[in-house]
Amino acid sequence: MSDSPVVRARNLGKTFGKGSDRVEALRGIDLDIESGEFVSLIGPSGCGKSTLLRLIGDLVPASSGELTVNGKSPQQARLDRDYGIVFQKATLLDWRTVTKNVELPLEIMDEEARSERAASMLDLVQLSDFAKHYPWQLSGGMQQRVAIARALAFEPSLLLMDEPFGALDEMTRELMQQEVLRLWQQTHTTVVFVTHSIPEAVFLSTRVIVMSARPGRITDRIETQLPYPRTVDTRESAAYYDKITEVRESLRRGDRQ
Amino acid sequence: MLSFIVVTFVLIAIWEGYKLIWLQMGWIRPVRPDNTTMPHVWDMIIELFRPVRRGGDLLILDLAARSFFTLREAFLGFVIGGIFGFALSVLFVRSTLLERSFMPYVVASQTIPIIAIAPMVVVWGGRLDFPQWLSVAVISAYLTFFPVAINTLRGLKSPDPTALELMRSYAAKPREVLWKLQVPSALPYIFTALKVSATASVIGALIGELPAGFGDGLGRALLTFSQQFGARSVKLYATVIVTALVGVIFVTVVTLVERKTLAAGSRDFEVELMTGRATG
């Protein structure tokens, strides 16, 4: 990796619709995300946090401004398979086993040694015992772990996660947060993580990007400065609570602006 | 299977019970209970084991040969229509413009009665030196492509939008999206369509045989026996039963293939097979 940021946005804007249906989803986004960072995008619904993620991942085109990923256009980065994406829905193919689901991107990318790669990914997310199972035989949390294994299988430089734990119960959610931090530290992947949970954003991230709605914009950037590895003890530390309070107040300020 | 047998006997009982009661009471509405209008079920079955004409084959052997002949035309029509319907749905899912331009014609094609289309196909087929069975198969295909096209299109559009976005993030080619995501998702829809098409293909073949002037299929037998209805109605009834059986057998075969294909895991195999064919 060079010194240039993985994601670089300058005055980035996105508008949906035309005429009276025109909605300005994002305005004047300036953002640099460095290699190896874990960045959360947080804000009220309608602040464009998912839209920003989708712009970075080349799922929708930008309307104005500049955006580069690994020094390339988002489209080129997508064609170079720089992105692993995890959505709120696991979106596993229910006619494929867990292993075959993880192999799907590898098949499309014509990669070698697919079954070995899939096996080691399943080992990484601790699902080796379920390799031959079908998605419907797994719990929601396990399905999401398969989706993460699938996203990391081809070693993308950037992992985009759009509220990946939003549909999970609180207990599973905390386990998954631990899991994703472990994977992040093992793989050195850069992560952009969309969430509407303040504790989740603080617990996971190196940096929290606070956004505000109408039009969607960045109102604050907060370094969490909590040491890794983060554990259950982190969740009970005073510094963690202070950061949560800081982000909450920042969100409230942004809302009033 | 057991429930099917029970229902069969219940239906026979209703038929015979109607005859008995209406005869006793002297009722003639809605249907006269006499042995020409409503022959006994056993008479229909006995008729199957009588010669078609003096010195001829048993009716059941004659009908078996005709069934085989008609089923062959129907199956060919089923295959032609299935492939054409599938190809249309792939074109339509790739291009909304094509779908919007041609879908009205696809729908309109099914509002034209097959009886109007059949003679035209036979005449055109004759000019092109088609063998007559091929013309009949084309008529049958005209009925079968429609359910396949409509249902497959719906199935190809059934994957979750996030699944398509995932494929996009893998920079998958349209062919890969089709064979790895859309077609496997569409398989349950396709099989529903194939069951409808299986019965429609038999109807198409029967009707196609009439203007083709075919003497060898079930269509001609149905026509001949309906003209002799006043004299010997049992023959028509027996032929109707055999014709219905042909349809049931066809649908059963499709259902068995469906069960095998949609069983856990085998869809994958199927798809790799098809992908191989598509690339090669």
Please state, rounded to an integer, the average pLDDT across all residues of chain B: 90
B19 and B57 in a single domain? The answer is no
B111 and B26 in a single domain? The answer is no
pLDDT at A226 over 70: yes
pLDDT at A6 over 50: yes
B33 and B54 in a single domain? The answer is no
Q: What percent of chain B has pLDDT over 70?
A: 94
Which pLDDT value is given to residue B267?
59
B126 and B257 in a single domain? The answer is yes
The residue of chain B nearest to residue A89, with distances taken between CA atoms, is B162
Strands (E), A103-181: 158-162
The residue of chain A nearest to residue B188, with distances taken between CA atoms, is A95
Q: Which of B169, B181, B265 sits opposite A83 (nearest CB)?
A: B169
Length of chain B: 280
Classify the C-alpha dihedral B35-B38-B43-B49 as positive or negative: positive
Contact state of B170 with A93 under an 8 Å Cβ cutoff: no
Nearest to B247 by CA among B195, B208, B207: B195
Q: Which of A55, A92, A95 to mutate to test the interface with B (most CBs of B within 10 A)?
A: A95
Total number of domains in chain B: 2
pLDDT at B115 over 90: no
Contact state of B167 with A108 under an 8 Å Cβ cutoff: yes
Classify the C-alpha dihedral B28-B31-B37-B41 as positive or negative: negative
Element (H, E) at A148: helix A140-152
B242 and B144 in a single domain? The answer is yes
B7 and B63 in a single domain? The answer is no
Structure tokens at A116: 């070995």
pLDDT at B93 over 70: yes
ipTM comes to 0.91
Mean pLDDT of B124-135: 89
Contact state of B265 with A85 under an 8 Å Cβ cutoff: no
Mean pLDDT of B248-264: 89
Q: How far is CA A224 from CA A201, A205, A207, in A?
A: 9, 7, 6
Q: Is B258 on the interface with A (CB under 8 A)?
A: no
> What residues contact residue B39 under an 8 Å CB cut-off, 6+ apart?
B233, B234, B237
Contacts with A167 from chain B: Cβ below 8 Å = none
Please state, rounded to an integer, the average pLDDT across all residues of chain A: 93
pLDDT at A110 over 80: yes
Which pLDDT value is given to residue A246?
96
B181 and B229 in a single domain? The answer is yes
Q: Is B184 on the interface with A (CB under 8 A)?
A: yes
**Distance of residue B90 Cα from the nearest chain A Cα, in angstroms:** 20
B17 and B134 in a single domain? The answer is no
pLDDT at B154 over 70: yes
Q: What CATH number is given to the structural domain containing B135?
A: 1.10.3720.10
B27 and B68 in a single domain? The answer is no
B74 and B20 in a single domain? The answer is no
B145 and B254 in a single domain? The answer is yes
The residues facing A29 across adjacent strands are A12
Which pLDDT value is given to residue B261?
87
For B133-150, how does the pLDDT look when each residue is reduced to its tens digit (9 = 90+)?
Answer: 899 999 999 999 999 999
For A143-194, how does the pLDDT look when each residue is reduced to its tens digit (9 = 90+)?
Answer: 999 999 999 999 999 999 999 999 889 998 999 999 999 999 998 899 999 9
Q: How many CA atoms does the CB half-sphere of B144 hold within 13 Å?
A: 32
Classify the C-alpha dihedral A61-A62-A63-A64 as positive or negative: negative
Q: Which of A95, A105, A108 sits opposite B267 (nearest CB)?
A: A95
Chain B, 135-174: which have a CB under 8 Å from a chain A CB?
160, 162-163, 165-172
Nearest to B252 by CA among B193, B186, B195: B195
B30 and B115 in a single domain? The answer is no
Q: How far is CA B274 from the centre of its chain?
A: 24
HEC assignment per residue over A64-88: EEEEEECCECHHHHHHCCCEEEECC
**How does B215-234 read in b/e, with b if 16+ C-beta sit within 10 Å?**
ebbbbbbbeebeeeeeeebb
Contact state of B169 with A100 under an 8 Å Cβ cutoff: no
Which pLDDT value is given to residue B280?
28
Contact state of A91 with B166 under an 8 Å Cβ cutoff: yes
Contact state of A85 with B176 under an 8 Å Cβ cutoff: no
Q: A193 with A38: CB under 8 angstroms?
A: yes
Domain interval for residue B21: 1-38
